[in-house]
Amino acid sequence: MSTLIVYFSREGNNYVNGAIKNLKVGNTEVIANMIQEITGGDLFKLDPVKKYALDYTECTNEAKDELRANARPEAKAYPDVSKYDVIYLGYPNWWGTMPMCVFTFLERSDFAGKIIRPFCTHEGSGMGRTESDIKRVCSGAKVERGLAVHGADASQSRALVENWLKNNN
């Protein structure tokens, strides 16, 4: 089966175990890279046209405003999912769901007959409602059980990722 790992991740100020820390690589990207190393799948990072603020508080306010407005911010490019059977979809959990730029990608693509395996990073909210949101947006896709990784533990989560991948193959 052909595999694609599509993810959105944000470096810069992030909330980590109760403190704001500056991350050179976002937590979701850390997990996406692990999945790529293990599966050998193709990797695609969603890069929004309008960058989110590097400051954590400003970014969370931007994310909340986009969610309230049901915005669909564009990415600079989108992958062609037509040649893939399995899509790993990664994102941070923002306000209980995916960043709105991930919704933009999902709504632009045809996932009929595809398997979607979601994974997210979070600081306590787990998958939130993301699995049900993906099922709603991606009709015709099989959305499998997601993996929620505590963002502060991302770099030490290889065994967790390997176990999830093993149980979803």
Kindly state the average pLDDT of the residues 142-158.
Answer: 95
Whether 15 shows a pLDDT value over 90: the answer reads no
CATH number for the domain harbouring residue 89:
3.40.50.360
Q: If you average pLDDT over residues 12-22, what whole number do you get?
A: 80
Q: 114 is in which domain, residue-wise?
A: 3-167
Please report the pLDDT score of residue 124 as a whole number.
87
Mean pLDDT within 66-71: 97
Answer for the pair 75, 105: CB distance below 8 angstroms, yes or no.
yes
Residue 18: pLDDT over 90:
no
Give the pLDDT score at 20. Answer: 82
- The amino acid at residue 10 is R
Mean local confidence (pLDDT), 101-107: 98
Residue 13: is its pLDDT beyond 90? no
Kindly report whether the global pTM for this prediction surpasses the value 0.85: yes
Q: What is the share, in percent, of the chain residues with pLDDT greater than 70?
A: 99
Mean pLDDT for the stretch of residues 15-20? 79
Indicate the Cα dihedral angle 112, 66, 148, 21, nearest 10°. Answer: 140
Domains held by the chain: number: 1
- Tell me the DSSP string of 151-164: GGGGGG-HHHHHHH
Please count the other Cβ atoms lying within 10 Å of the Cβ belonging to residue 26: 22
In angstroms, the Cα distances linking 104 to 25, 66, 70, 77 are 23, 12, 10, 11
Q: What is the mean pLDDT of residues 27-53?
A: 96
Q: What letters, b where the CB count within 10 A reaches 16 and e where it falls short, cover 69-79?
A: eeeebebeeeb
